A and B are shown apart, each in its own frame.
Chain A
Amino acid sequence: MLFNSYVFLFAFLPVTAAGFYLLGRTSPRLAVIWLTCASLVFYGWWSWHFAFLLLVSIAFNYLIGRAILAENGNAGRANALLVAGIGFNVAGIVYFKYLFPLLSFLSQHAVLHGQFEQVVLPLGISFFTFTQIGFLVECRQGFVEHEGLSEYAFFVTFFPHLISGPILQHREIVSQIRKPGTFGISSQNAAAGTALFAIGLAKKCLLADSFAPVADHGFANPAMLGSIAAWHAVLSYSMQLYFDFSGYSDMALGLAKMFNIAFPLNFNSPYKAVSVIDYWQRWNMSLTRFITRYIYNPTALWISRRRSARGLPVSRQGLRSAGGFLAMIVIPTFLTWTVAGVWHGAGLQFVVLGVLHAIYVTTNNAWRIYAAPSWKPVARQLPAWAHRAVLVVATYLAVVVGQIFFRAANVSDAMTMLRAMAGLHGMMNGIDTASPVLHALHSRLPAYFAPGAGTATPLSVLALFLPLIPFYAIVWAMPNSIEIVPGFLPSGMNERAEPHRFVWRPNMSWACATGMLIAASIASFSQVHAFIYFQF
């Protein structure tokens, strides 16, 4: 089921919420079970086969988790169970997501022979697999005391996060459903949650989806684009992706809030980032938390301890040496980001995405360690806003290159798009079909917006990029939705509760604004686009 659909807004959500509030008065446990069942309906709406698969996955992980808790006194046995549990989860996601693309790839390159049938990818498998792996690690680490099946099933299936995250930690959710206060109706939470949900819905339906046709058209035919049209398609896509995922994260957090559950932050104005490392603290924050805690940290710690044992330096001095930098930064970074890239999809372009970001983060770290000390006095000569602007734009462009690999059909198309952007396919091709707005202007005012392929007036180019400007104002200068509707869990390390002037309040003006946003969004439902992170 999609959040942006009639059945969700008018049937599923009201019924589920009503059931939760009514049952919560008498029995919190029944309310939890109600939500779990509703979430299974939400998931199974798409395919009941995969709802069954989800239940199998839940049962399996629950049993392994219980076994780990029982054996936690014996490190060897507990670790073996943990590894087995993680292994089975990974095997599942490899089978559904990676195996057949890999076999097809090998078959195309004549390493293997045979036809390989595509397997249908269960919705949200990347998310609920990671979520459950996190649970198993938490069991081993001692963060789980005792666990009932109904609590665990709720934790995994709760519909706001089931399909596209945030990737939750067991302890942050279970502590909330064990508090009786979670089970009454809180008008404050319901109102704030609805407001945030409305903002997210509008971002998705009105903003992200309006860029989709432009981006789709451009990425479908990258070879037909000159540099102007290519930049236009790529920048439009960067806006589509931003508002799509931002909107989704808002909706997930807002929905959970309606049920008095606080989710961790997942999206914090990522295009305002001043470095790629900063970007990852702002984009898909729950994923960054997961890969940092469960891949990067353990690897870096293990490597540094081995170095220490051999008498090699591990502090700043160690990082400065080439061997130390390689061992303590490069290896954990490449491991972590290759996994993160590949997690996003099966295909060589996702490997490239991962490796690209690994290079970015490594360069960022190298800069911090080797260049920053001499650069800081130079930077202080520039006015602060100029310095910041340079960093923001540089980071944004680096991220956009990664997004091209994320969106393109394959590596070859991505390279074609990059070549087009660099001007290697000419400048003017494809402008006339680049955007519906421009097309309309072409037909109505041909004198100003030159018709035909391969030519364009300055006005045409302006007409292409002008509509993007308000969106840059939004992503670079405006407060984000979490600053407007606060009250969520921290997801990373350096979130500050910054009070903002433009904060949501439960009053008439906000109620009207919320209502209008929802109405406008619903009006767009006739042309529904699924979320980008949907089939993940």
Chain B
Amino acid sequence: MTDEEILASLTPIFRDVFEIDTLVLSRDMTAADVEGWDSFNHINLIIAIESRLDIKFQVAEIEELRNVGELVRLIRAKLG
């Protein structure tokens, strides 16, 4: 999967988890840009991504994610 495809598949997940129907993702987006994205909701996002994209994250991998771009890169590495 390309980065664009990953970004496109993440968009409905983000919209669902944060209940923002009009959310548009960009690679430099951070938690500060999305209402409700805090360190407790973060794990809900990760759980939703695991379930929808059928991948597994390590707790350590999700700790240091600084923005959506890094998340995309991590997912790309996992999808092979």
Q: Any chain A CB within 8 A of the CB of B17? A: yes
* Most chain A Cβ neighbours within 10 Å, of B30, B40, B43, B50: B40
B32/A496 in contact, CB under 8 A: yes
CA distance A157 to B27 in the complex (A): 39
CA distance A289 to B42 in the complex (A): 12
Mostly helix, strand, loop or mixed at chain B's interface? helix
CA distance A346 to B44 in the complex (A): 32
Q: For residues 42 through 80 of chain B, which have their beta carbon under 8 Å from a beta carbon of chain A? A: 42-44, 46-48, 50-52, 56-60, 62-63
Q: Any chain A CB within 8 A of the CB of B31? A: yes
CA distance A314 to B16 in the complex (A): 12
Residue of B nearest to A492 (CB): B39
Q: Any chain B CB within 8 A of the CB of A493? A: yes
CA distance A319 to B19 in the complex (A): 13
Specify which chain B residues have a CB less than 8 angstroms from the CB of A494 in the assembled complex.
30-32, 37-38
A-B residue pair count with CB separations less than 8 angstroms: 79
A372/B40 in contact, CB under 8 A: no
* Most chain A Cβ neighbours within 10 Å, of B37, B43, B46, B58: B43
Q: Any chain B CB within 8 A of the CB of A301? A: yes
Give the B interface residue count (CB, 8 A).
Answer: 28
CA distance A502 to B1 in the complex (A): 47
| Chain A proximity of B35: nearest CB distance (Å) | 10
| Chain A proximity of B19: nearest CB distance (Å) | 6
Q: Any chain B CB within 8 A of the CB of A292? A: yes
Specify which chain A residues have a CB less than 8 angstroms from the CB of B46 in the assembled complex.
301
Residue of B nearest to A319 (CB): B44
Q: Any chain B CB within 8 A of the CB of A141? A: yes
Mostly helix, strand, loop or mixed at chain A's interface? helix
Q: For residues 245 through 290 of chain A, which have their beta carbon under 8 Å from a beta carbon of chain B? A: 277-278, 280-281, 288-289
CA distance A370 to B59 in the complex (A): 28
* Most chain A Cβ neighbours within 10 Å, of B31, B47, B50: B47
B16/A315 in contact, CB under 8 A: yes
Q: For residues 1 through 51 of chain B, which have their beta carbon under 8 Å from a beta carbon of chain A? A: 13, 16-17, 19, 30-32, 36-40, 42-44, 46-48, 50-51
Specify which chain B residues have a CB less than 8 angstroms from the CB of A301 in the assembled complex.
43, 46-47, 57, 59
Q: For residues 308 through 360 of chain A, which have their beta carbon under 8 Å from a beta carbon of chain B? A: 308, 314-316, 319, 328
Instruction: Answer whether A143 and B38 are a contact pair too, CB < 8 Å, given A314-B48, A314-B51, A495-B32.
Output: no
B residues lining the A interface (CB < 8 Å): 13, 16-17, 19, 30-32, 36-40, 42-44, 46-48, 50-52, 56-60, 62-63
Question: Which 6 pairs between the two chains have the least Cβ-Cβ distance?
Answer: A141-B60, A493-B31, A494-B32, A494-B31, A304-B47, A315-B48
